């Protein structure tokens, strides 16, 4: 063999070895499956958005990152207010999570559950895409979880099996299921109802059995979970809080990926989130009421509030707003109020 051929063979084998070690590094660092948690069921927009993210990532990484979705908060045995801690600790690799469920750990996330703070979609967008969203992402990041994109569960509307709710007195003594997040106890206690904390997994059978009278959730969840079949025949559209979702990755998992793959996962989260928000709003807007009509067709009585009725709810929950403004941080709440005001212009 000529010397040059020998050199070529040598360089080739070094190159092959380098390639192999890169593949091995990938094989060693990358898991065969990444567990992605959602609290909702798979078929609602929240679950569809998670699936879109998983599919985009798989396609764009040529299968290097393979994500499996675990609905119903099953990775934390249904205990949805433990989800954030489980992501931080690495029990969960990734999630599309509700700000409500993570607010016990990151108290500023309660801002979206401030009663009657957020009037419409323009206001939601102004908050999550603006300074408030940036500050919340940096708090989530400081808590050890990498936030990538904002999605949406939706405006939460109240349903019950007893009677139409148009004023606070209509819910007096009503047993209403709420998520295990303290702000919700305060809101419904102030309104004269009896809030009962339980997970979403427990809530669905409890509603069907009539152990509780009502619940509050976005219409996509109401419809997706067929709550009209669980006796929830009265629905009030009051837009009292909005429930954004956050697409996140555990920090160690994030750091285990190459820079190129991180960028792919981030971009896929942004793309999936945009589609998810559109799905969550579809059929429930003044331009397209198709899903609202579908709910009516199931024999549900829908109430919208007059401005006086709306005011009665705002007034009754004002002390709760003031108390939680201090807890969340007055500066952040004032920033939100300013951004919402500007979104009206």
- Return the CA Rg of the chain: 23
Among all residues, whose Cβ is closest to ligand X2X?
200
Q: Tell me, residue by residue from 72 to 111, as one string, x for binding to ligand X2X by CB under 6 A and - for no binding.
A: --------x-----------------x-xx----------
Of the candidates 206, 168, 213, the residue with the CA atom closest to the CA atom of residue 187: 168
Nearest distance in Å: CB 65, ligand X2X: 25
User: Which lies closer to ligand X2X via its Cβ, residue 140 or residue 179?
Assistant: 179
CB 31 within 8 A of CB 94: no
User: Which lies closer to ligand X2X via its Cβ, residue 221 or residue 305?
Assistant: 221
CB 169 within 8 A of CB 192: yes
User: Which lies closer to ligand X2X via its Cβ, residue 206 or residue 332?
Assistant: 206
Cα angle, residue 283 at apex, residues 210 and 245 outer, rounded to 5°: 70
User: Which lies closer to ligand X2X via its Cβ, residue 95 or residue 305?
Assistant: 95
Reported in sequence order, the residue ranges of 179-300 that DSSP labels E, i.e. its strands, are: 194-197, 214-217, 234-250
Does the CA dihedral 142-144-146-152 come out positive or negative? negative
User: Which lies closer to ligand X2X via its Cβ, residue 247 or residue 257?
Assistant: 247
What number of chain residues touch ligand X2X (CB under 6 A)? Answer: 12
Query: Which of 51, 85, 103, 153 touches ligand X2X by CB under 6 A?
Result: 153
User: Which lies closer to ligand X2X via its Cβ, residue 45 or residue 147?
Assistant: 45
Distance between CA 211 and CA 177 in Å, rounded?
A: 9
User: Which lies closer to ligand X2X via its Cβ, residue 39 or residue 196?
Assistant: 39
> H/E/C letters for each residue in 38-58?
CCCCCCCHHHHHHHHHHHHHH
CB 185 within 8 A of CB 224: no
Nearest distance in Å: CB 120, ligand X2X: 20
Nearest distance in Å: CB 181, ligand X2X: 8
User: Which lies closer to ligand X2X via its Cβ, residue 113 or residue 317?
Assistant: 113
Task: Tell how strand 194-197 and strand 175-178 pair up.
Answer: parallel
Within residues 160-219, the interface with ligand X2X by CB under 6 A covers 179, 200, 217
Nearest distance in Å: CB 149, ligand X2X: 18
Within residues 212-251, the interface with ligand X2X by CB under 6 A covers 217, 221, 243
Nearest distance in Å: CB 249, ligand X2X: 19
Nearest distance in Å: CB 223, ligand X2X: 13
Indicate the burial class of 146 (C-beta count within 10 angstroms; 0-12, 13-18, 19 or more).
buried
Nearest distance in Å: CB 209, ligand X2X: 17
Of the candidates 215, 207, 176, 211, the residue with the CA atom closest to the CA atom of residue 194: 176
Distance between CA 323 and CA 327 in Å, rounded?
A: 7
Residues binding ligand X2X (CB under 6 A) = 39-40, 80, 98, 100-101, 153, 179, 200, 217, 221, 243
């Amino acid at each position: 063999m000529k010397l040059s051929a020998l050199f070529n063979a040598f360089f080739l084998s070094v190159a092959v070895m380098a390639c192999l070690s890169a593949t091995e590094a990938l094989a060693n660092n990358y898991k065969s499956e990444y567990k992605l948690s959602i609290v909702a069921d798979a078929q609602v927009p929240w679950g569809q958005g998670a699936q879109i993210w998983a599919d985009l990532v798989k396609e764009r990484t040529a299968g290097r990152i393979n994500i499996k979705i675990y609905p119903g908060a099953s990775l934390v045995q249904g205990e949805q207010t433990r989800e954030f801690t489980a992501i931080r600790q690495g029990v969960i690799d990734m999630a599309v999570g509700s700000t409500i469920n993570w607010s016990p750990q990151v108290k500023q996330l309660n801002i979206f559950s401030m009663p009657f703070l957020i009037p419409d979609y323009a206001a939601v967008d102004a908050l999550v895409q603006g300074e408030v969203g940036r500050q919340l992402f940096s708090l989530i990041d400081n808590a050890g979880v990498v936030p990538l994109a904002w999605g949406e569960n939706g405006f939460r509307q109240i349903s019950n099996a007893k009677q139409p709710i148009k004023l606070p007195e209509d819910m007096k003594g009503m047993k209403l299921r709420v998520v295990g997040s303290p702000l919700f106890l305060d809101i419904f206690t102030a309104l004269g109802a009896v809030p009962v904390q339980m997970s979403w997994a427990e809530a669905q059978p409890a509603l069907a059995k009539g152990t509780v009278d009502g619940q509050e959730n976005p219409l996509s969840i109401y419809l997706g979970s067929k709550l009209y079949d669980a006796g929830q025949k009265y629905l009030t559209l009051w837009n009292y809080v909005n429930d954004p979702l956050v697409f996140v990755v555990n920090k160690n998992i994030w750091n285990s990926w190459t820079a190129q793959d991180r960028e792919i996962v981030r971009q896929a989260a942004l793309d999936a989130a945009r589609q998810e928000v559109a799905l969550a709003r579809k059929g429930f807007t003044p331009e397209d009421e198709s899903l609202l009509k579908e709910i009516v067709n199931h024999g549900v009585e829908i109430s919208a509030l007059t401005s006086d009725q709306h005011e009665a709810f705002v007034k009754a929950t004002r002390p709760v707003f003031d108390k939680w403004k201090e807890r969340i941080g007055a500066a952040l709440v004032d920033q939100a109020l300013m951004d919402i005001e500007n979104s009206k212009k």
